[in-house]
Amino acid sequence: MAIKKTTKLKAEIPTSSMPDIIFMLLIFFMMTTTMRQFEGLKVILPQARKIEKVETKRHVSYIFVGRDGVISVDDKLIQPTDVSKVMYSKRVADPQLIVSLRADRNVQMGVISQIHNELREADALRVNYSATTANY
């Protein structure tokens, strides 16, 4: 009577330590990831004597106006005539929208007036003017 040798090698990947590896990677990426902040244009904000902070930044959309009249909304440069189109689509998506206007203190008033007219056309009437505190 002949005895057969049956040796089977299983080629399996051990999965017992897989959750440990996944959680270590998850913690690593959570600790090293930074949240992106709005950069906008480099503006020097005007000074004010009294400043009120907006309660929540959830419904705030920022319009940056540079010294030379360049307008940026959501890190995209736009023409002054396109402000109403962009803000109208934002206003439809979020009825509680607050527009925060961050204009350089040396920008011409004509540019600010044109932005105001465009915001009226877009029915974005809640406008916040950003400023820094004055040291009087």
Structural domain tally of the chain? 1
Look at residue 85 and give its three-state secondary structure: helix
With a cut of 80, say whether residue 36 has pLDDT above it.
no
63 and 83 Cβ atoms separated by less than 8 Å: yes
pLDDT tens string 83-124:
999 999 999 999 889 898 988 888 888 999 999 999 999 998
Range(s) of the domain holding residue 113: 47-133
Band (25; pLDDT cuts 50, 70, 90): very high
CA distance 93 to 39: 23
Residue 56's identity, in one-letter code, is T
H/E stretch holding 112? helix 109-121
Is position 23 within any domain? no
Report CA Rg, the chain.
28
pLDDT tens string 53-67:
777 778 888 899 988
Q: pLDDT value at position 38?
A: 60
Is position 79 within any domain? yes
Is position 33 within any domain? no
